[in-house]
Amino acid sequence: MDTTLQDPLVGQVLDGRYRVDERIAVGGMATVYRAVDTRLDRVLALKVMHPDLATDASFVERFIREAKSVARLAHPNVVAVFDQGAEGAYVYLAMEYVAGCTLRDVVRERGALQPRAALDILEPVLAALGAAHRAGFVHRDMKPENVLIGDDGRVKVADFGLVRAVGSVTNTSGTVLGTVSYLAPEQIEHGTADTRADVYACGVVLYEMLTGTKPHTGDTPAQVLFQHLNEDVPAPSARFPGLAVELDELVASATARNPDVRPYDAVALLAQVRGARAALSEEQLDAVSPQALAGEGGVLGAAPSEDRTDVIPRVVPREEPGASHTARLAMPPSAPPSAPPRPARPAVPRRGVIAAVVAVLLALGIGTGVWYINSGQFTRVPALIGKTEQDARQALKKAGLEVKQVRRDFSETAARGTVIRSVPGTNERIRGNGSVTIIVSRGPEIVKVPELKGKPLAQAQRELRRVGLAPGVITKRFDDGVPQGAVISTEPGAGSGRSPDTAVSLVVSKGTPIDVPDVTGESVQDATSTLEDAGLKVKVAAEQIHSPEDAGTVARQSAGEGSRLARGDTVTLTVSKGPRMIEVPDVVGDNVDDATSALESAGFEVEVEKNFPFLGDEVASQSVAGGDEAPEGSTITIKTKGL
């Protein structure tokens, strides 16, 4: 039965403008319809909040925030929002309609994707998120359902309904919005999310595309949340050993449980993805999983509740006297058993000691409240401003404090990588064994690309990192004026202003080109000497081949005459075993044309001597008798009849 027939909105016109034609999808917070804008006569998608949520001011505000946020992005890989409005109980967004399917549909139908396809999808997703991150937004709900793949092949990111400004903190009393399978550990533990939470979700999506299954699954959402907090995302090659190590490294980098270890935002992850793609061979990019070869498809072990955006109970910190605020999550019923409990310590000694001290203090007339509060319960935050992140961590550890979180912010005065401020601030009191948030400088908001022409590649890469930019793709070309291994140019060029962590492509010189000499037919020793004198390296192939060249001489070279190589490049030489000896066909009595064809088909050159043409063209003799052997490629002479 078609449930859309029972939908009260289908066939209605919202706001006197949007005619609702068909229900497309139903989510945890909204329903999406295909509709027609009757004013502009165009098809669009209408996202309508569930009526029971429309009475909640926070949900309505989130809807409006989505419209404003996406309208500011205007990126080709982001689903555009055209309008926002409300009619009665219906609050809606009018959005771009993308004819096609979601990434969830693709993975559910096909299972694991080839690495090339997975990266082709991931790159535009990261481009869209990168634009959002650089515009100051965090998506917070990245998952395959929110990646749309159009019939024309375009990839677009949808559903910015949970978008937040970068740096803002969502810290609810025990709940967090999101989808359990893609929540970063810090979202679960602290209820906070910055650009690195989107990076984590993209890492999970990449793992799912490469393997056809989610890294963390369970019978209940609590079991999945527990795994996010306590288990690393496994390497994709652990499931399909044929996958390249570069893909394992991508997933591991993006899904590091410590957010400080992840790429800072989607732009930084995109640079890593492009670097990994450049390192993969065509065979590695087109690797096919055993699952695909067996004709299996679909996501394994995915509970429906794991795919929905929902309000999820989060791990609430539990405070204990004298201890840091730590998030705790009970072990789910079906999770592995925890370590056995340590033997209980007697309760009397500690309480007895405190009671005895209190008794003595009372006898001396000293107030116990002041003594208890100040006796080791609080300490002061040491001076951290100007220190490197590593030095700041050491200073806090020495003071008995922990780093709660590392945030990064722009600074025109503080050097990149040094501490700008801390929370709590310098010399403020904090409970003993407490934790401190440090804010580290990202350097200026706009960084100028340094002049790198003529500098060795390694030095150029170091200078880019020093000023806060990322070394990007390296291409090489011949250049007579720039030494081999030095930078010719950059893209963007020197002096260009870019945001920190932007990738800078480098063009590196291969030096003056060397014209490769022809050494076929020479002895290996002479050929090696000739090539080395030209500035090339030589490798001799282990296997020898038959060729017209004499045995022991060079039969073939990997770069032929006229090729251009860089100094230090390698030419591989293949040594000849001499020509093969093959049997000569008997062509006496055949006409010249047939005889020539037979000899050439056997692998010989043919020379014809016609004594008296008027006597006909029948072969009277051949230089090598039929049935004898001769070297392949050698010349056989045939003669016609004479007087």
Assign residue 208 a region (left: φ > 0; alpha: ψ between -120 and 50; beta: otherwise).
alpha
Question: Which one, of 407, 141, 162, lies nearest residue 264 by Cα?
Answer: 407
* H or E element that contains 107: helix 103-110
- In 3-state terms, what secondary structure has residue 380? strand
Long-range CB contacts (within 8 A, 24+) of 419-422: 419/384, 419/385, 419/386, 419/387, 419/388, 419/389, 419/392, 420/385, 421/385, 422/381, 422/384, 422/385, 422/392
- CA 467, 469, 473, 479 dihedral sign is negative
Specify the pairing of strand 435-441 against strand 402-409. parallel
DSSP code of 445?
S
DSSP code of 315?
P
Residues with Cβ within 8 Å of 295's Cβ and at least 6 positions away in sequence, in order, are none
> How many other β-carbons are positioned within 10 Å of the β-carbon of residue 233?
21
Residue 557 sits at φ, ψ, to 5 deg, of -130, 145
Residue 56 annotated in active site = no
* DSSP track, 265-299: SHHHHHHHHHHHHHHS-HHHHT---HHHHTT--S-
Question: Rounded to a whole number, what is the distance in angstroms from the first to the last CA of the chain?
Answer: 100
How many C-alpha atoms does 201 have within 13 Å on its Cβ side?
Answer: 31
Angle (nearest 5°) at CA 288 between 283 and 291: 165
Active-site residue, from 141, 159, 501, 590: 141
Residues with Cβ within 8 Å of 425's Cβ and at least 6 positions away in sequence, in order, are 381
- In 3-state terms, what secondary structure has residue 175? strand
Asked whether the beta carbons of 220 and 163 are under 8 A apart, the reply is: no
Residue 562 sits at φ, ψ, to 5 deg, of 95, -15
> How many other β-carbons are positioned within 10 Å of the β-carbon of residue 89?
12
Residues labelled catalytic? 141
